[in-house]
Amino acid sequence: MDMHEEYSVADPAQLLQAASDFAYDPGFTPPTILGALQTKSDVPGLEDALVTCLERVFKTKYGASLLPHFMPFVVIGLGADSQKVRGLACKTVYFLSENHEESPQLVREYNVYPLLLNCLTDGDEQVTTASMDAITRLASTSEGMEIIFPADVDEPRHLGNLAARCSSLERVRVLALIVKLFSISSSVASVIYNSDLLALLEADVRNANDTLMTLSVLELLYELAEVQHSTEFLSRTTLLQLLGSIICNASTESILRSRAMMISGRLLSKENTFMFIDESSVKTVISAIDERLGVLESPDADADECECALEALGQIGSSIQGATLLLLNAPPAARRVVHAAFNWQGRGKQLAALHALGNICGETRFDNTKMLNSGAEESLRRLIYETASNTSKLTPSGLFLSVLQEESEIRLACYRLITGLAARPWCLMEICSRQEIIDIVTDTYTETTKIGMEARHNCCQAIYKAFMSSSKLIGDPALAVVAEKLQEAVKKGPYLGRKQHREAQPAVMTAERF
């Protein structure tokens, strides 16, 4: 009998009966297991096994269908001494909210929400995460929102009141919940803003006496700034001004300035920034980062803070308006980025600057949005030519070639930069006039990693596309070889350009005799 036949002999009717017997066995029903969890047992590993068993059961559609009948057990679990049992109870509330439309009514009827808040503030890390997930899932319905955001702001369960009576650690957890709720949707974010809960974050950013607390809140703001609709609501607060103050304050710890710069960069990188934040506020932040970069040019400056400043400017410069301000500010903040990109004193600093300059030049923008207005374009061209003239390379093509000859990470950043710059006729001419540059970007053996191959190929495509759009270059017989090499490299694609090696063939020979 083969394996297929061996496993095919079971009678489906017998299987159904066996499954039913197991499901309804009075010795192993979920209530029995829940009851066992309430008793302190000396059997090693029993609690872990039962918790794992119940979590797997309640994750299923069948298990979730039983949850409305087990609410008394859930309530007991949320208040249990065992962290594992509390974590399971929080996950059970999540499963309940995910599978039952009447879950808000059950949560309200059994007064579950205050218990979830207790788990949030005084549970261990796993319990806190599980309770936060359960509350966030509850917020997906309008009835759930009414539970989390009561009309009476004096209620103890109001998140603002809860944060006010918490310790520092508990307060950070409450703030983390607010940030997670904020990210659900613009409508939830609006409720949070109207409940004045963002003011809690502002208050802790202002608190200069507790560095650890301020850093924790800045980390939460970094997450908040990533949310697409964050700009709309944060623009109505004083957070941007507070971040600028931190960046400018020389007595502030370096790590706080670094995080403030990264938050500002992330927040101002969105294309909708200027719909909600006035240009003068953006300029103030740019000037603060630029001023700090000036201080960080000294040899003994904090390298990490310098890299954060360059990255922040690069994020701001990823949008058209941001890049324009960086190039047209007086003096242009982009000048420090360009200088650092081609300054070989500090690998991390140069790498951050090259990526930042790539953003400013439009590598992350669509083709029709790479170019800026005439004033910004002239400023960019002048900055790169001036930087080149102050080095031994003398020309932009010399700068590009020298960077392309560096290690792989630096080279990848240069591919990104050239991808953005190739749209400019003056830069395209610089690139195509230097055969060594074309040889590197079309060499299918140069890169060995996936990201490197893709960056090199994108660079080739950008140069070739710009070349074919230039009537001046396409008609130049001297550049025919360049066009041919670029076309061949583009056709090969990022991965399949390597020559196919023949497979080793076995050799048959007469055995040697001794």
Q: What are phi and psi of 476, to 5 degrees?
A: -90, 110
Domain end (from 118, 148, 178)? 148
The rounded distance, in Å, linking the Cα atoms of 492 and 332 is: 40
The rounded distance, in Å, linking the Cα atoms of 356 and 378 is: 18
- The pLDDT score that the predictor gives to residue 17 is 55
Which candidate, 48, 54, 53, places its Cα nearest to that of 70?
A: 54
In a domain, 116, yes or no: yes
In a domain, 189, yes or no: no
493: alpha, beta or left, given left = phi > 0 and alpha = psi -120 to 50? left
- The pLDDT score that the predictor gives to residue 78 is 93
The rounded distance, in Å, linking the Cα atoms of 286 and 264 is: 9
- The pLDDT score that the predictor gives to residue 15 is 46
Which candidate, 426, 478, 484, 424, places its Cα nearest to that of 460?
A: 484
Which candidate, 445, 448, 442, places its Cα nearest to that of 463?
A: 442
- The pLDDT score that the predictor gives to residue 473 is 85
- In the numeric block, the tokens 């950013």 are attached to 205
The rounded distance, in Å, linking the Cα atoms of 381 and 385 is: 6
In a domain, 36, yes or no: yes
| Domain CATH number, residue 90 | 1.25.10.10
Domain enclosing residue 36, as ranges = 25-148
Tell me, rounded to whole angstroms, the distance of Cα 150 from its chain centroid.
32
Are 135 and 179 contacting, i.e. CB atoms less than 8 angstroms apart?
Answer: no
Q: What pTM was computed for the model?
A: 0.85
The rounded distance, in Å, linking the Cα atoms of 329 and 254 is: 25
- The pLDDT score that the predictor gives to residue 459 is 95
pLDDT tens string, the chain, 514 residues long: the values are: 443 444 344 555 554 555 455 445 544 556 666 666 666 666 777 778 888 888 888 888 888 888 898 899 899 999 988 899 999 999 999 999 998 988 999 999 999 999 999 999 999 999 999 999 999 999 999 999 999 999 888 888 899 999 999 999 999 999 999 999 999 999 999 999 999 999 999 999 988 778 889 999 999 999 999 999 999 999 999 999 999 999 999 899 999 999 999 999 999 998 889 999 999 999 999 999 999 999 888 777 889 999 999 999 999 999 999 999 999 988 999 999 999 999 867 889 999 999 999 999 999 999 889 999 999 999 999 999 999 999 888 899 999 999 999 999 999 999 999 999 999 999 999 999 899 999 999 998 888 899 999 999 999 999 999 999 888 888 888 888 899 999 999 998 888 655 544 444 555 555 454 3
- The pLDDT score that the predictor gives to residue 125 is 95
In a domain, 81, yes or no: yes
In a domain, 415, yes or no: yes
Domain end (from 124, 148, 172)? 148
Q: Which helix (H) or strand (E) holds 292?
A: helix 279-295
- Reported in sequence order, the residue ranges of 306-391 that DSSP labels E, i.e. its strands, are none
Which candidate, 237, 285, 292, places its Cα nearest to that of 265?
A: 285
The rounded distance, in Å, linking the Cα atoms of 281 and 236 is: 12
- The pLDDT score that the predictor gives to residue 63 is 84
Tell me, rounded to whole angstroms, the distance of Cα 256 from its chain centroid.
19
Which candidate, 258, 283, 254, places its Cα nearest to that of 268?
A: 283
In a domain, 271, yes or no: no
In a domain, 91, yes or no: yes
The rounded distance, in Å, linking the Cα atoms of 197 and 204 is: 12
Tally of domains within the chain? 2
Counting Cβ atoms within 10 Å, is residue 143 exposed (0-12), middle (13-18) or buried (19+)? Answer: middle
